[in-house]
Structures are given as C-alpha cells and as structure tokens.
Amino acid sequence: MIKDTTLWTALITPMKEDGSIDFKTLEHLIRTQEKAGNGILLIGSTGEGLALTENEKRDVVEYSSSLNPTVPLMVGVGGMNTDIQESWIQHCNSLQIDAFLLVTPLYAKPGPKGQNAWFQRLLDASDKPCMIYNIPSRTGIDLPTDVVRSLEEHPNFWSIKEASGKLSVYQQYRRTAPGIPLFSGDDALLAFFKPAGCAGLVSVAANVWPEATALYVEKCLSGETKSLFPLWNRAVGALFSASNPIPVKRLLHHKGEIQTPELRLPLVKEELSDLAELKAIDKEIETWYKNNT
C-alpha cells in the first residue's frame, strides 16, 4: 500500500485545554485524511513528537492503529538516544502500522560513520519499510550521500524525505541512489522536485486542506507544475509564518476542525495572534480546489 501512496500528511496531535491529548478529535482528523485517501504520519515534528512522553506516543500510535484506517500509517522515530529509538521501533513493530520515518540524529551532529551506524541499527530493528528524513534546519546536520549509498541495499530502506529546501541536495540523492524513491518534505517545492523524479510529498498543508493538497500532488506528479507554485508557495509561507505547527493548529481551530489550538512548550499559540494571512490563503486554496474539480 505504501508504494502507491504519493501524499503523506504529517498529522498534528490535537490537545485539550489542559494539554492532554484529544483522542476524539484525533479520530476525526484521521477519518478526514482517510476520506481524502492520504497516508498519515504520526508524531513527526508537526505532531510534536519530541514534546510527548513515551507513554503518550504509545497511546497515540496504539489508538490510531486500533481505528484500522484504510490508508497507511507511518510512525516518526526521532531523537538521539539509540536504545530508546530502537525500543520504540520494536514496540511499534507489533502494531498495525505500515512504515517508519527515521530522522537524522538530533543535536549531536555525527559524521557519516556515526550516521551510518545509527541508521543501520534502526533499520535492522524495523519490521517495516523505512523513510529516512533529511531535515538539517531541525537536526543541525545533513544526511550524507555516502550514508545513502551504504544503506541503499538494506531491505528496509524504502525512501527518503528531503527537506533541506535545496534542489541540488535532492539531485545528489537521486544520482547516488536512483532506485530509492524521494519525497519532498516541502509542500511548495514539489513543483520543482517533480521534474527530477519526485515520488510524492510529506505534507503539512494537507492537515488543513486534505483534498486540495491531494489534488495539488496529483497535478504536480502529472506534470502540471508551472501554474501551481505561486499559490502554494504563498500557502506554505502562511503555514510557516510561525514555528510549525502553530499556524496549522490556529487555522484548524478557526475552521472548527480541532477543539483548541493548544501546543506543548516551548511552542505556544500566542506566537501567532493575527490570523488574517491564514484566513486569506484558506479562501484562496478553497477557491482553487473548487475551480479544479
């Protein structure tokens, strides 16, 4: 199923006013993505995975798995303690999930040998296909092409999520491992990555526009790219006008899709008080979707 999934929504984790997880709303969000046919990434950075306790992460994944959605579930694996991440993967192996997202190690900034050992151990622990995630703006280090080359033949190395924001990095991965599917980690850049062979998108925007983003991906992958960038670039700009997922949660709350826009410290909803830009782009995206369906 995962090989046919071109759009993965990096799902938010909805919370109540007291900061606890809102499981009723989580089910609503999952069913909304299911209706749109989008794969779901749980507890990634958009899902505030690093701000959740180990028990909360287990609860989110176990609850989501128990809903038996008809779309695939991917689970985030991120941190810098290898034993903890390995244990997390082993726990999730027993659940009804379909894939893992393995992030480059946080903070430590290891070299190629350290990264290679890190990913080898996590890939070995997994019973599921794994997407390796390059996000230097969050981890402080790039995924080296040498590591991609050394891991290319691992049976659990399924794909790469590239989110450096640089087409040149994307092209380096494509040349290094032409058999490994590459996904854009930036909604707006899909239009540029597609001509270089992009397989799909891991999206923040699909939280608020699940069906419109699915159509956007479909059009990009079919070659309709030139006219799409200006609108979706503005949309992404609005969704990242404060640290992700603050704007996404504020807009989802405005649209009545979640009960509160609460986040976990160090993120706070007060970082974004003016929703005018978000409301305006929301109307633009809705109009675009109606005009194209």
pLDDT score for 149: 95
Q: Which of 57, 161, 194, 249 is catalytic?
A: 161
Residue 284 scores a pLDDT above 90:
yes
Q: How many domains are contained in the chain?
A: 1
Q: What is the pLDDT of residues 134-152, one digit of tens each?
A: 999 888 899 999 999 999 9
Q: What is the pLDDT of residues 80-109, one digit of tens each?
A: 899 999 999 999 999 999 999 999 998 889
How does residue 194 score in pLDDT terms, banded at 50, 70 and 90? confident
Owning domain of residue 208: 2-222
Model confidence over 10-68: pLDDT tens digits? 999 999 999 999 999 999 999 999 999 999 999 999 999 999 999 999 999 999 999 99
pLDDT of residue 80: 87
State pLDDT tens for residues 245-280.
999 999 999 999 999 999 999 999 999 989 999 999
**30 domain residue, yes or no:** yes
Q: What is the pLDDT of residue 191?
A: 84
Residue 1 has pLDDT above 90, yes or no: no
Rounded Cα distance between 147 and 111, Å, is 10
Active site residue 289: no
194 located within any domain: yes
- 202 belongs to a structural domain: yes
Tokens of 145: 């092409």
Percent of the chain topping pLDDT 70: 99
| Residue environment code for 200-226, b if the CB has 16+ CB neighbours within 10 A, otherwise e | bbbbbbbbbbbbbbbbbbebbbeeebe
Confidence label for 167 from pLDDT (cuts 50, 70 and 90): confident
* 7 is a domain residue: yes
CATH number reported for the structural domain that contains residue 165 in this entry:
3.20.20.70
CA atoms within 13 A on the CB side of 160: 32
User: Does the annotation mark 216 as catalytic?
Assistant: no
Question: C-alpha distances in angstroms, 23 versus 110, 146, 204, 206, 207?
Answer: 37, 41, 20, 19, 16
- Compare 197 and 174 and report the one with higher pLDDT: 174
Output 187 or 2, whichever has higher pLDDT: 187
Annotated catalytic residue within 3, 107, 128, 133: 133
Amino acid at 34: E
Q: Is residue 258 part of a domain?
A: no
Q: Is 184 helix (H, G, I), strand (E, B) or coil?
A: strand
pLDDT of residue 146: 95
Give percent above pLDDT 90 in the chain.
84
Using 50, 70 and 90 to split pLDDT, how confident is the model at 166? confident
Question: Is position 32 within any domain?
Answer: yes
213 is a domain residue: yes
Beta bridge partners of 75: 42, 100
